[in-house]
Structure formats: C-alpha cells, structure tokens
C-alpha cells in the first residue's frame, strides 16, 4: 500500500468519525426547539381566546341594542308623550337576562322629551352595563 492510499483511507475514516459524532441534534437543541414551538402555540391560544371573547361581547351588545331600540319603538308607537321619570323593563334575549333602564327627561321645548336607555346584563353575581343609547321623542 502506498503512502497516498493510506492517507486517503485515513482521511475518509476521520470524516466518517466526524460525521458519526455530529449526526443528529443534542438534547439542548431539541429542548430549545420545543420551547420555541410551545411559546408560539401559547401565543396562538391567547389570540384565539381574545377573538372568542370579542365575538361574545359583540353578540351581547347587539342583543342589548335590540332591547333598547324595541323600547324606543314602543314609546313612539304609543303616540303619547312619555311621563318624566325612570322605568325598568326586563328584556330576556338568547338566554341572557337583560334589563333596560329608561330615563325620560324634559327638554327646554315642551314638545320634546329626551330618553336615555341603558341596558344592563343581569347575572347571579351582579349586573354589568352593556350599552347606552339616547334619543329625542316629539309630540305627535
């Protein structure tokens, strides 16, 4: 065997030894990759939760607006000036117990009344304000 052949064999054996030692990932590299994936998944989970809560809040506000608009429409259709004062009306909507508080106030012009409607969500633990609307009702 010539010296050149021995050098080639030795260098190829050294390359195989080096490849054998560096093949695959170390435990630290795997743990770092897993932690990065876990952080990304947690961020996705938080954003999904925020979107879900936002959709629920939007649905509740829409139902509250329906309740307030219904009360305004009742007052308009009665064709009478509503009396000045505060009244409370229950308005169950889609398994939610909503309560409409109407506050009728006089205006400088006696032919008009200002009506403020605030809608609260009533739960066993308390009430949560959901929406406030205001309108002016004229004499017919």
Single pTM value for the model: 0.67
CA distance 38 to 34: 6
CA distance 63 to 37: 39
pLDDT of residue 6: 55
Burial class (CB in 10 A: 0-12, 13-18, 19+), 66: middle
> What is the SS3 string spanning 24-65?
CCCHHHHHHHHHHHHHHHHHHHHHHHHHHHHHHHHHHHHHHH
pLDDT in tens, 20-45: 556 788 999 999 999 999 999 999 99
Kindly state the average pLDDT of the residues 101-111: 95
pLDDT of 134 above 90: yes
pLDDT of 13 above 90: no
pLDDT of residue 22: 62
Q: Per CATH, which fold does 28-138 belong to?
A: 3.30.1300
């Amino acid at each position: 065997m010539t010296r050149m052949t021995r050098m080639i064999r030795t260098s190829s054996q050294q390359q195989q030894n080096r490849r054998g030692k560096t093949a695959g990932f170390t435990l630290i590299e795997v743990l770092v990759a897993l932690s990065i994936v876990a952080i990304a998944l947690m961020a996705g989970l938080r954003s999904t939760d925020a979107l879900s809560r936002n959709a629920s809040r939007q649905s509740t506000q829409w139902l509250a607006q329906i309740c307030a608009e219904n009360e305004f429409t009742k007052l308009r259709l009665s064709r009478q000036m509503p009396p000045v004062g505060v009244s409370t009306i229950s308005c169950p909507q889609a398994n939610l117990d909503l309560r409409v508080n109407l506050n009728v106030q006089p205006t400088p012009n006696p032919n008009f009344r200002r009506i403020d409607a605030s809608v609260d969500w009533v739960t066993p633990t308390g009430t949560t304000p959901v929406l406030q609307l205001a309108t002016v009702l004229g004499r017919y």
